Structure 1
């Protein structure tokens, strides 16, 4: 099944500790390229996010953005144990140096570890952020699958056009070869008297063989069948499809170069247009 590399997913969650919003964006890229924007308190989630993306995606540039908004400002509390230890130390100083000035309450609160900021439980927030990521990743994969199905339908419609052009040339081939021979005879009419009849016939046969496009039409048909097969394969197929577009384009170019009549030229041009349209869509396929 074809999957697109272009997709977007967003998931959010609100609780008494605040809110989380996670976005996943993916665009086409030759390899898997991962980028993360996570709030500092939740930075530890990145390795797990990275592993999950690598397990379920093969190609694409993916941006993961997580936003965390606490529901309220941090509350401050006094560390009683730390303050008691500081008080004991001050009593010891007073016994040794009775004349020493004692600090006031604000100075005591400013001492490291006495005043603590209490925020939301990070374990709870982390667990919610992980669940949110799993939800967004499932949605991203669904979006890539839906767009992949649309891309496959577009490619199949162009393949139908390729088949039609191949069939058109095949049906016209006897008449095309007849007209080619006639045109070649006309061109050689001026020098017929100077050439040996057997040599002339051999030259005509050789030129007709060079203009014969049967092999190119057969290979075009074979490549079209292989593209159809790849569209039903599991796993990433984008690179193989891109290679097949190169092969289709090669045959279309050869068909064009061999053409000596307008009908074949028109079909070759139409084939190139159809192949280029498919190639553009395939750039987004995983």
Structure 2
């Protein structure tokens, strides 16, 4: 089955004095964009979570948030003075070098320094940080499973809609084929009349050349190829949906081909009825393309 790029999951957990809340959500995107907001003082946690997400999803704008709190009287975090001193020294050196070159930097704020990675660390040190990180890593697969379940459910709904819309395209293509067949005799009669008028008014013209030009016009007005390609595109789209997996990009490209054939059909129709069918085809194809934007 296909997967939707829309998903959401939330969970809560606790270990000792710590409590936490997960929130994982995603929307559609051209590629894979992972945005994680997790405590940076838990070594290796973000790397592990990012790896798990990268294996599970192929497309989408994914946002993961982990809010961690400590419920006892102790502080959950404390300043790492060594790191803070290093940051301050680096900042002072940067400002000195900028001043030597005539550059004026914006004043630094304490909040800017405190937001840097490594400035904060767990109050309990490794004795608390290591088991806490391990508990969070162990719990995340369940959060991810709930998230993927929603994306799968959304994908199932998308697939049903897309298959119904493809059925509609197939029906309209057959209707267009019938109209194109019905107009053949009228077009042949019109071409014969045009040929007779041209021959009467152009005594010096080459009859073979005139016949070739009229035949070329007839070929340009033939929509058989466009209708055949629409049918082939419908088959290809159904095959992709049956295959499942991350097929969103292929479906999106296929929608461009659908639209090209519908545009050409309208341009070559020379019939109000066939033009109406072509316009309805374009409308349905646009609807399919909107849905495809959410397919992983």
TMscore range, shorter length: 0.7 to 0.9
Quote the Cα distance in structure 2 between the aligned partners of 1:69 and 1:268: 60
Residue 139 of structure 1 pairs with residue 146 of structure 2: yes
Quote the residue 2:45 is aligned against.
Answer: 45
Unaligned runs of 5+ in 1: 76-116
Using a 3 Å threshold, how does the CA distance of structure 1 residues 124 and 192 change in structure 2: closer, same or farther?
same
Q: Is 1:218 aligned to residue 228 of structure 2?
A: yes
The 5 A counterparts of 1:266-281 are 266-281=276-291
Helix, strand or coil at the partner of 1:4: coil
Q: Distance in 2 between matches of 1:48 and 1:267?
A: 53
Query: CA RMSD of the aligned region, Å?
Result: 2.4
The residue that corresponds to 1:154 in the other structure is 161
Q: Show the counterpart of 2:4.
A: 4
Q: 2:187 aligns with which of 169, 180, 186?
A: 180
Query: Could you tell me which residue of structure 2 aligns to residue 24 of structure 1?
Result: 24
Secondary structure of the residue aligned to 1:63 is: strand
Q: How does 1:53-68 map to 2 (within 5 A)?
A: 53-68=53-68
- Distance in 2, Cα, partners of 1:191 & 1:148: 59
Question: Per-residue CA shift, 1:140-175, capped at 9, x if unaligned?
Answer: 111111111111111111111111111111122222
Whole-angstrom distance in 2 between the partners of 1:266 and 1:184: 23
1:58 match: secondary structure: coil
Describe how 1:48-127 pairs up with structure 2 within 5 A.
Answer: 48-74=48-74, 121-127=128-134
Is the CA contact (8 Å cut-off) linking 2:28 and 2:294 kept in structure 1? yes
What is the TM-score normalised by the length of structure 1?
0.77
Structure 2 SS opposite 1:66: strand
Indicate conservation of the 8 Å contact 2:177/2:227, yes or no.
yes
Alpha-carbon contact 1:181-1:204 (below 8 Å) kept: no
Asked if the contact 1:11/1:132 (under 8 Å) is kept, the reply is: no
Look up the match of 2:34. 34
In the other structure, the counterpart of 2:247 is 237
Q: Which runs of 5+ in 2 are unaligned?
A: 76-122
Q: In structure 1, how many angstroms separate the alpha carbons of the residues matched to 2:292 and 2:48?
A: 30
Separation in structure 1 between the aligned mates of residue 200 and residue 142 of structure 2, nearest angstrom: 83
* Distance in 1 between residues matched to 2:231 and 2:253, nearest whole Å: 16
CA 181–195 in structure 1, closer or farther in 2 if over 3 Å, else same: farther
Paired residue for 1:248?
258
Equivalent pairs counted in the alignment come to: 245
Residue 194 (str. 1) matches residue 193 (str. 2): no
For residues 280 and 124 of structure 2, what CA distance do their matches in structure 1 show? 69
Q: CA offsets, 1:31-60, max 9 Å, x none? A: 211111112443530000011111111111
Provide the C-alpha distance between the structure 1 equivalents of 2:162 and 2:140, rounded to a whole number of angstroms: 32
Shift of the 136–190 alpha-carbon distance from structure 1 to 2, 3 Å rule, reads: same
Bigger mean CA offset, 165-174 vs 124-133: 124-133
Distance 2:31 2:137 in 1: 25
C-alpha displacement of 1:276:
1.0
